[in-house]
Amino acid sequence: MDTSLDIQLNYLPRLPKNLDMGIGCIGSGFIMADCHLVAYRQAGFNPVAIASRHRTNSQAVGDRHNIEKVYDTYQELLRDPAVSIVDIAVPPNFQLEIVREAVKHADHIKGILVQKPMAVNYQEAKEIVRLCAEAGIKLGVNQNMRYDQSIRACKSLLDQGVLGRPVFASIDMRAIPHWMPWQKELGWATLRTMSIHHLDAFRFLFGDPDRVFCSVTEDPRNGKDFRHEDGVALYILEYDNGLRTSAWDDVWTGPSREGAASDIYINWRVEGTEGTAKGSIGWPSYPQRTPSTLDYTTIQEGEKWQKPRWDEVWFPDAFMGPMAQLMCAIEDDTTPELSGEDNLKTMALVEACHVSYREHRAVPIQEILAT
C-alpha cells in the first residue's frame, strides 16, 4: 500500500500466533468453497474437516482445498476432537440447530463462527448467543464487510481523528447480488442479506444509532421469481449526537439485465468536521479482482486528495478477518471483535428496519433490544 501521509491505515486483520487450531467446516457452497477456504489457505489456517448436506459436494470441496477428513454428517464432524473451531456456512434457518449440537462438545470446541444473519430473527439469534455463553464457547459472526479494506481503512482514519467529528455518511449501492435459493424460500430479498452489511458497517464506523427510518419497494426482477417486500431499501440512521447516516440499497439498478446498459457500483462517503473520506467497494466486479478504494482530504493537508491503494480485495481476501478475530479471541481469552453479543445489535437494527417500513415510522433500536 502507498500513502503519502504519515498515517497508519490499519486495513488488514490481526492474525493469531497459533495458526494450527483445527477448523471444522460445515457447508460446501460458494461461500465456503470460494471465499472461506480460499482465504484460510492464503492465511495459513488449518481446516481439518468438512461436512454438508451432500457428501459428494463436501468431498469435491475437501479435495480442492486439501481437507483430509470428509464426514457424512455435521454431527460426526462435531464429535471429532481435532476440531477446535466450527465454521458454519449454511442458510440462517439451519444455524440454530447446528449450534445446539455443537455446544454439546465444549470439551474440544472452543469457538464457533456463524454466518450473517445469525438466525432468522432476533429471538433465535439471542438463543444462539445464550447457548454459546452457557457452554463457554466463543461466538463470532461473519460480518465480513467490516474487513473490506476500504471500510477498515476508513475506521482507522476515524479512530485517529483525521476526519474530525463525523457529521454525515452514506452508502450508495447499485448492484445485483447473487441470490441464493434459500432467500426465495424465506421470502427475503435485501434487508437481511445485503443491507445487514451496510447497517453493521455503520455500527462499526460510528457506534450504535438511536433510531432508524426505513422505506422499501419491490425489486421488479426478483418479483417475477418470488414474493418479497424489501427489494429496493432506503434507510436513515439517527444518532443523538447529531450524526446522520443513510443508504440506498438498489438491487434493481434499472433494466440492466433486460437489455439496457448497466451502471453497477457501490460507493460510500464520510463527511467530518476536519475532513472527508470517500470510497468504492470492489465486490460487484467479483470474480474479477477489483480492490476497494479510499480517497480522503483534510483541512490539515489542504485542497488535495490522498489516495492510498492496496492489492487485497473483499472477496475472498477479507474472509480471513472474521476467522482471525475469533482465533485471536480464543488465543488471548478475550471477547471476539465480531462477537455474537455485539451482533445482536445489528440483528436488532435489521428487525427495526422491518418494523419501520411496515408501520411507516422511525423505530428506536432499544424497542427491539427490549424484547
Please, are residues 298 and 274 in contact by the beta-carbon 8 Å criterion? yes
How many whole angstroms from its chain centre is CA 179? 16
Query: Which residues contact residue 46 at a Cβ distance below 8 angstroms, ignoring those fewer than 6 apart?
Result: 19, 20, 21, 22, 23
Residue-level pLDDT at 178: 87
With 0-12 / 13-18 / 19 or more C-beta atoms within 10 angstroms meaning exposed / middle / buried, residue 331 is: middle
105-164 confidence digits (pLDDT tens): 999 999 999 999 999 999 999 999 999 999 999 999 999 999 999 999 999 999 999 999
Please, are residues 194 and 116 in contact by the beta-carbon 8 Å criterion? no
- Ordered DSSP codes for 65-86: TT--EE-SSHHHHHH-TT--EE
Which parts of the chain register pLDDT below 70? 1-6
Cell numbers given for 132: 454459546
Using alpha carbons only, give the angle 26, 75, 118 rounded to the nearest 5 degrees. 45
| pTM greater than the 0.75 cutoff | yes
- Measured CA to CA, the distance from residue 167 to residue 164 in angstroms comes to 9
Residue-level pLDDT at 1: 44
Residue-level pLDDT at 8: 87
Query: Which residues contact residue 94 at a Cβ distance below 8 angstroms, ignoring those fewer than 6 apart?
Result: none
- Measured CA to CA, the distance from residue 190 to residue 282 in angstroms comes to 19
Residue-level pLDDT at 7: 80
Residue-level pLDDT at 6: 60
